[in-house]
Amino acid sequence: MSRSEELFQNAQKVIPGGVNSPVRAFKSVGGIPPFIRSGKGGMITDVDGRDYVDYVGSWGPLIVGHAHPTVVEAIRKAAENGCSFGAPTEGETLLAQRIIDRFPGMEMVRLVNSGTEAVMSAVRLARAATGRDLLVKFEGCYHGHADGLLVAAGSGAATFGVPTSPGITRATARDTLVLPYNDLEAVEAMWSLRGEEIAAVIVEPVAGNMGCVLPVPGFLAGLRRMCDQYGSLLIFDEVMTGLRVAHGGAQTLFDIHPDLTTLGKVIGGGLPVGAYGGPKSLMEQIAPSGPVYQAGTLSGNPLAVAAGLATLDLLDAPGVYANLEAKTRYLTKGLSQVMCAKNIPCVINQAGSMFGLFFTEAQAITNFAEVSKCNVTRFNQWFHGMLQEGIYLAPSAFEAGFVSLAHDESLLDLTLTMAERVAEKMHT
């Protein structure tokens, strides 16, 4: 029995499913998850001493790689002064200003502890500001595990959401409407029916929780137009895309300015953090400036703030985003050539340093219905084949992959060499 197997057995006795976040359990792909001991640069090492090229990167935040010396030193220095105070620190203001400088339309920011908390708070603010109850989200977009967002679509474009987890009341789910991603006609139909009741629409401008799906031309602009027409707010969930796809997130990449933005992942450099922000007219409605209550003892934690500031410093170097995109393009182009050479049909999407690989006969992947028709069995073969060859990918056909600054040409070439081996086995 491997050390990972032993640890997984022990973990299942004291932690539900043996993991503290469901996808880590490998339920969708099968097998035993490797327990990770350490990471350095673009590599991770498990407790059995196996090395992997890592394209998960803690699900996105490690854009400069594991244990970057600058980030580690920033955390060390912050820890020497104390890990938490529950009181204001200078670093919080510095990080808030750095975020505001990057994102158009952001005039104020509130730091929180996670992406889920950021989204939950932004939705509460939107409802308070508009005096309306209804929220629109899109099928396949994940916005954390807050009750009102764990819903799935019913039949038809105008159907109220229904709970997808026990413990969520139908009354809560009824305030969330679910539409197909990239379907502007469905959006227009919904607003024509219930536009005066809709507080906000929340969207991943690039969907990263169904395997990296980009918005079709006109979709995001259409959301902006419908919100303006009916007085609803547009919320961009950039927890994953913010600082991943561009210097100022997807909103600068596509030149669409939301009313509120939620952030996480990269702004904490790998430590738990989140944020939401927008114009002063909205943000000053948050307590203690206004009546909309939101609080958190560890919000603006000095260790997370220090790691975030250090990471932003590294990302501000000239040419960083062009470099990241070029690395990712090199990888995705190489993977496409490998699959084509072995007659394995697939679609590979890319946005900045995010990518997604879909095993499908389709020519394009633009929504969750199309993702759901992809060959999951073939993905599982691909995943385990790559894992065996030392390439660590997300253990789900519905998750994006991430390239970091630490993925140099040698690691990318190694990945493509291993991909050829795995594709050959899949082909035969």
Catalytic residues: 142, 237, 265
- Whole-number Å distance between alpha carbons of 414 and 213: 26
Query: What whole-number distance in Å separates Cα of residue 259 and Cα of residue 92?
Result: 22
How many Å apart are CA 18 and CA 7, to the nearest integer? 9
Residue 12 tokens, joined: 């299942």
Neighbours of 162 (CB within 10 A): 15
- Three-state DSSP at 391 gives strand
* Amino acid found at 212: C
Q: Residue 335 and residue 54: Cα distance in Å, rounded?
A: 16
The type of residue at 134 is L
CB 250 within 8 A of CB 258: no
- Asked if 262 and 250 count as a contact pair (C-beta separation under 8 A), the reply is no
Q: What is the DSSP string of 290-353?
A: SSB----TTTT-HHHHHHHHHHHHHHTSTTHHHHHHHHHHHHHHHHHHHHHHTT---EEEEETT
- Measured CA to CA, the distance from residue 92 to residue 299 in angstroms comes to 9
Contact 238, 261 (CB under 8 A): yes
Q: Which amino acid is at 71?
A: V
Instruction: List Cβ neighbours of 186 (8 Å cut-off, separation of 6 or more).
Output: 157, 179, 180
Q: Are 125 and 292 a contacting pair, CB within 8 Å?
A: yes
Contact 286, 125 (CB under 8 A): yes
End-to-end Cα distance, the chain: 30
- Give the C-alpha separation, 419 to 382, whole Å: 9
CA atoms within 13 A on the CB side of 128: 18
